[in-house]
Chain A
């Protein structure tokens, strides 16, 4: 089974059902499964006509119908899609385009400011299609609109061969503990098996509202690919600014969220006070139809499961990682246990090594792109080492109770490598030593100032604090929200170090404790 098979089945079964719905200003636009697939086919043929076969093709942009059509145009042919986080700084994006060996790029119109740097910094790119209908009118002939690619495909007879089950379909970048993000290689089979193994069913035409970043495996596979396999109508949230408002606009039945979203929505529900009837409030906040929220990416406090149940919404927690396409286990309607992360999927085999969860199965990645050492550390004898500690209870439900790897998991589901940020912060002149920790669901920088700078500038404590905060504010402005530093602790003492002069992470809070 390939992604293309799943989509073609849906096209046959649900041709007139709306596949995608989105907002243009205040107007709701939509397209059916047959219209969606016509665009997907045209994109695929267009790529072939432009000479892209077996090529890596990157996508940078927020969720939009052109993004998903382009993604599907890539993976239903013989090419490899490389979705990247549009919130990253331009220098990180150019690095990832180059490291992934991408030969073409789909770029969101809001990322137009990156265009010149990408053109200059990514010499392998042969084409850049802007995700818009209008021609960008750029002097560089490599830069065109996605509409021109679709038109080229519509005018071409030749279609791409079907990919093979073992072919890599997508490379998804994820935070690395060494400070360098890693490209997770997932095959056609990996993705399709994950879609099929998450065993839940809704009526065709069920409405889903997609609010997670589309470049994430959880959103891409479980909102979009799973939704399309069910014949669902996928609605696009145009901005996190409007998430709550858009729930009322689109009135979804099912949503995928990260715990952070549940926390924010719960604040809204609580703020209404006890006098408003829960049913009325649920209708106002959730749109009136919401039955299920699947959540994953980070631990959810079971408190929210009970609280949302009061409003008639079932919250089902799951567990996964990009390396597993991504779902490993999931609570399902009628088969759940609060506090657990559900039963393992049918295509997943679990083992435990010193408490660490190991996974084997048809959704486990092929490795990290061009990173053989990191691949060998993570994939051993076919078993993926998750970096999470856990156990199975007597009923077969999986529980997590710790971490092995040094990654910070925020409640928005983002995995943050502290080293990656520390390397950047260490460039500050006043920064002598720095460690980044996850505290109060944000990132805190613990900095020991450079004593030479302090002495030469005759700086007192207040001035040090002020200058370091100004330095962090400047750093934050160029970063996506999940990599921004929201806490600062100025240390009075250097960090405790090992015999090899490395900072001992497990001992950083001993002399200067956690922030309140």
Chain B
């Protein structure tokens, strides 16, 4: 499984959209119906799965799937 698909599989746990139908432009709150806590919990799972550390302050910048993927990749590179 690619990293992106692994990521989208976690996204799909919080919404009623299949991983393959999740596009990078989708917004977590508006398009995927994430609650604020779904979003936090989801990012917490990313920390464990991809071994990165997120700060709550970083998260206000993240609105779309693409932005979350970019953040995660950046943090992995920095680690």
A residues near B (Cβ < 8 Å) are 110, 239-245, 260-261, 263-264, 267-268, 271, 411-412, 440-442, 473, 476-477, 481-482, 484, 486-487
Task: Verify B54–A412 contact, CB threshold 8 A.
Answer: no
Give the Cβ gap from A239 to chain B, nearest Cβ, in Å: 6
B residues near A (Cβ < 8 Å) are 12-14, 29-30, 33, 35-38, 40-41, 43-45, 47-48, 54, 56-57, 60-61, 63
Task: Verify B37–A442 contact, CB threshold 8 A.
Answer: no
Task: Verify A245–B35 contact, CB threshold 8 A.
Answer: no
Closest to B12 in A: A271
Q: Which of A473, A477, A482 contacts B36 (CB 8 A)?
A: A482
Chain B positions within 8 Å of A240 at CB level: 37, 40-41, 44, 56
CA distance A240 to B35 in the complex (A): 12
Closest to B56 in A: A239
Task: Verify B35–A442 contact, CB threshold 8 A.
Answer: yes
Task: Verify A268–B41 contact, CB threshold 8 A.
Answer: yes
Give the Cβ gap from A210 to chain B, nearest Cβ, in Å: 15
Chain B positions within 8 Å of A477 at CB level: 60-61
Task: Verify B44–A260 contact, CB threshold 8 A.
Answer: no
Task: Verify A260–B56 contact, CB threshold 8 A.
Answer: no
Q: Which of B35, B43, B60 contacts A260 (CB 8 A)?
A: B35
CA distance A486 to B30 in the complex (A): 6
Give the Cβ gap from A441 to chain B, nearest Cβ, in Å: 6
Main secondary structure of the interface of A (DSSP, over half): helix
CA distance A243 to B36 in the complex (A): 13
Given contacts A241-B56, A271-B13, A441-B35, contact A264 B41 (CB under 8 A): yes
Give the Cβ gap from B74 to chain A, nearest Cβ, in Å: 17
CA distance A180 to B4 in the complex (A): 45
CA distance A487 to B44 in the complex (A): 25
Chain A positions within 8 Å of B48 at CB level: 245
For A243, A411, A481, which residue has the most chain B Cβ atoms within 10 angstroms? Answer: A481
CA distance A482 to B39 in the complex (A): 13
Task: Verify B38–A264 contact, CB threshold 8 A.
Answer: yes
Chain A positions within 8 Å of B13 at CB level: 267-268, 271
Q: Which of B30, B41, B60, B61 contacts A241 (CB 8 A)?
A: B41
Given contacts A240-B40, A481-B36, contact A476 B30 (CB under 8 A): no
Give the Cβ gap from A147 to chain B, nearest Cβ, in Å: 24
Closest to A263 in B: B35
Chain B positions within 8 Å of A243 at CB level: 37, 40-41, 44
